[in-house]
Chains A and B, each alone.
Chain A
Amino acid sequence: VTTLVVAEHKGNKLGADTLSAINAAKSLGGDISILLAGEGVQPAAQHASTVPGISKVLTADDAVLAKGTAESLAALLVAVQNRRSYTHIAAPSSSFGRNLLPRAAAQLDVQPASDVTEVIDADTFVRPIYAGNAVQTIRFPAEGPRLFTVRTSAFPAEPAEASASAEIEAVTQEELAAAKEMDTGSEWVGQDVSTSERPELGSAKVVISGGRALKSAENFQMLYDLADQLGGAVGASRAAVDAGFCPNDMQVGQTGKVVAPDLYIAVGVSGAIQHLAGMKDSKCIVAINTDPDCPIFQVADYGLVMDLFEAIPSLGKEIQKHAK
């Protein structure tokens, strides 16, 4: 077993999603390499080389790869695979990984597995289907590389402390040329990224989510305040996003982010199947809702039937009281 993990890097470090994907790769056993592509990736490569369990960090450093378009990254990944023949290629099931991996897989004529939550053996993987209402065990054919994306909430992110030193090696000119000479037809125009001091939704220990019952964007401030008090992140139901209370990237659910924090507090969220798909693996679920019959109470460890506009401020006060 030799595994290549396609890395996502932010601010000169590997992203938490990639660290989870590395952990999934570890459960396969065997040798693990990391592919870091972009422009100016050396600092991130240094960080990657200190992650325990990695034997090699492959870097592809070129302006063409700076914006990470799927077309050039997939061309690079295919060239790397054709030269180095890994048995497994993994990527985090982030918007980055989901955009890239299937493109490369089709070029390699492989049917990949999405959103893997468990590794049974080198050929057998578990993944959720039907919004998490069923769990499918699938087996790859004996021949050919196995490509998969990793549900990051199902695997812990690696500890941050440095303990190892993997070799850093640049990909060959031929491999890099595959990406550089690719006529992508795609041009990166710009981005609009929400900036926040709060922890990332996907890796936060505490997540507080608001639904339609919050009634306005202004009222979400209550949730931000409580999240800051607990060092957590804020999520939302689709209804809250559609109503314009918060940006799309805060949506938790089948089609948004999947989270599994230690504590998930659902505030004014009814608990539609599609929302539950994104949070029902949380360790402890709290639901605050005025309607005792709403489905969220069926998955909540602790339910509080109460008006959220009364409950949230007093919850903040009560937690503060104990903190003193």
Chain B
Amino acid sequence: MPTPIAVKRVIDYNARVRVKADKSGVETANVKMSMNPFCEIAVEEALRLKGKKLAEEVVAVSLGPKACQDQIRTAMAMGADRGIHVLTDTELQPLAVAKLLAKIAERETPDMFLLGKQAIDDDCNQTGQMLAALLSWPQATFASKVEMEAGNKRAVVTREVDGGLETLRLRLPAVVTTDLRLNEPRYATLPNIMKAKKKPIDQLTPEELGVDVAPRLQTVKVEEPPKRKGGIIVKSVEELVDKLRNEAKVL
């Protein structure tokens, strides 16, 4: 049974984000793009499952414009066996992504679908939960540890929740979304990057999968957040406490 993982192309986490002058969105032209950091963790986890012979095949799935193939290649350079690219230039919101991934789950019949807990661009934190709902599979979000039980029928997942950790036992197939603490993703080596160029990528369209991907939520505008007023550098602890007491009045 393959383990599909979903990877998203996003603005690199270190890049400076600039809002477009017409307020229609964020400038993405000539900005460094990368794989979403949480997706890298999902790829790594899938590869570790395969390494322990708990997954037969790791399939990287990405949805969006042609350039998303770069992120599929990156996943394959890390070790994913093949890729699936759903090509569309429409803005995809999490519900549409979840519907497309659900169709792919029907074709691939995986034991586990791994996703990052959120994309660092839209910060939605929804797709995995929605995918699990559409498939009627159990879900474990914000995973910091994934273990398989003997017989490979259930997964025991530790989740990062407010106040601490929680452990669930899930019947497979299941959807798991990754938190930062799950693992340390590997770097792709040059030979593996070369090998990845030969690995196959299936290309599909939303129409072929029979999914209406039109955005449900309309973006009215995107703006810069309010700027904080410049602060001051104080010279001593005494001055700091004095300012906090008498100026900011927070002590």
Are A and B subunits of one complex? yes
With A106-B98, A302-B232 known as contacts, the answer to whether A193 contacts B129 (CB < 8 A) is no
Chain B nearest CB from A18 CB (Å) reads: 12
With A130-B121, A262-B250, A305-B233 known as contacts, the answer to whether A105 contacts B126 (CB < 8 A) is yes
Where chain A touches its partner, the secondary structure class is mixed
The chain A residue with its CB closest to the CB of B168 is A186
- C-alpha spacing A69/B222, complex, angstroms: 35
A140: chain B residues within 8 A (beta carbon): 216-217
B95→A303 contact, CB < 8 A = no
A216 within 8 A of B: no
A111→B240 contact, CB < 8 A = no
A306: chain B residues within 8 A (beta carbon): 237
- C-alpha spacing A190/B161, complex, angstroms: 12
A315→B217 contact, CB < 8 A = no
Q: How many residues of A contact B (CB 8 A)?
A: 89
Q: Which residues, 139 to 187 on B, are CB-close (under 8 Å) to A?
A: 139-142, 144, 156, 159-171, 174, 179-181
B225→A128 contact, CB < 8 A = yes
A186→B139 contact, CB < 8 A = yes
Comparing A42-50, A79-87, A154-162, A248-256, the segment that makes contact with chain B is: A248-256
A134: chain B residues within 8 A (beta carbon): 17, 19, 26, 222-225
With A103-B129, A139-B218, A322-B241 known as contacts, the answer to whether A94 contacts B165 (CB < 8 A) is no
B240→A95 contact, CB < 8 A = no
B118→A302 contact, CB < 8 A = no
B89: chain A residues within 8 A (beta carbon): none
B132 within 8 A of A: yes
Which of B38, B168, B238, B245 gathers most chain A CB within 10 Å? B168
B123 within 8 A of A: yes
A131 within 8 A of B: yes
B228 within 8 A of A: yes
Q: Which residues, 132 to 153 on A, are CB-close (under 8 Å) to B?
A: 132-141
A255→B179 contact, CB < 8 A = yes
B88: chain A residues within 8 A (beta carbon): none
B167→A189 contact, CB < 8 A = yes
- C-alpha spacing A303/B17, complex, angstroms: 25
Q: How many residues of B contact A (CB 8 A)?
A: 82
The chain B residue with its CB closest to the CB of A205 is B250
Chain B nearest CB from A299 CB (Å) reads: 5
B138→A186 contact, CB < 8 A = yes
B169→A304 contact, CB < 8 A = no
A300: chain B residues within 8 A (beta carbon): 231
A224 within 8 A of B: no
Chain B nearest CB from A101 CB (Å) reads: 8
- C-alpha spacing A82/B143, complex, angstroms: 31
A111→B216 contact, CB < 8 A = yes
B219 within 8 A of A: yes
B219→A95 contact, CB < 8 A = no
A12 within 8 A of B: no
A235 within 8 A of B: no
B168→A193 contact, CB < 8 A = no
- C-alpha spacing A314/B241, complex, angstroms: 10
A221 within 8 A of B: no
B125: chain A residues within 8 A (beta carbon): 98, 102, 114-115
- C-alpha spacing A48/B211, complex, angstroms: 41
With A186-B138, A322-B251 known as contacts, the answer to whether A133 contacts B95 (CB < 8 A) is no
4 additional contacts (CB under 8 A) given A134-B222, A187-B169: A134-B19, A189-B167, A192-B164, A255-B117
4 smallest beta-carbon distances between A and B, as pairs: A106-B130, A111-B216, A185-B171, A193-B164
